[in-house]
Amino acid sequence: MEKLPPVEKVYEAWTAIEDGRAQLEDDGSRCVVTSSDGAKRYTVIREETPDGVVYKSNDSATYWQGYAGYPVICMLMLEKRVPLDLRVAGWFAGVNWNQVNAEHKGDYAAAVTAVEQERDLKKERVDHAAKNAQKVLEALSGLDVRVARNGAKPEKLG
C-alpha cells in the first residue's frame, strides 16, 4: 500500500468491528460498514484487476485523501490480511468517533487521547494499543494492494 492512513484510523476500525458495524458479505468481495454515529453506511469492494488487488471505498478518507479509511482497514482485518486484536478492540467499543473527531477539529491523535483518558485506560493498555496499531500499519505497508474511490455515495441512514 502506497499511502498509509493516520494510525488513529486503526482505532476507528477496532470500534467498528467490536461494535458489529463491519460485515463481510457472503462472497467476501464486499464489506459494509456503518459509521460510528449511525448516520451513514459505507461500502468497500475488493476487485482483482490485471494490475493487482484494489479496494474501492466510498468513505471520506479513501475517497478524498487517497489512503485506506477505517472501512478499508476493517475489511482487511476481517479478511485476516492485517492483525486484529479483539481484546484491544474491546477497549474502544462504543466510541462515536464522528463526534470525538469533530470535538477535536480533526486532530485524530487528540481524539484518541481523549477517548483513552475518558475510559481511564492505564498506561499499559494505552501502550499496548499503540503497539498493536503500529503493527497494523506495518502490515498495511507490506500489502501489495491499492485503494481507490468507490463512486457510489455513502448510504444515509435514519
Q: What is the pLDDT of residue 152?
A: 81
**Distance in angstroms between the alpha carbons of the first and the last residue of the chain:** 34
Q: Which residue has the cell 499511502?
A: 3
DSSP characters over 47-91: EEETTEEEEEE-SHIIIII-S--HHHHHHHHHTTSS---HHHHHH
pLDDT 10s digit of each residue in the chain, 158 long? 889 999 999 999 999 999 999 999 988 899 999 999 999 999 999 999 998 999 999 999 999 999 999 999 999 999 999 999 999 999 999 999 999 999 999 899 999 999 999 999 999 999 999 999 999 999 999 999 999 988 888 888 87
Q: Count H helices and E strands in the chain, helices first.
A: 7, 6
> Residue 28 has what pLDDT?
87
Predicted structure pTM score: 0.95
Phi and psi at 138, nearest 5°, equal: -60, -40
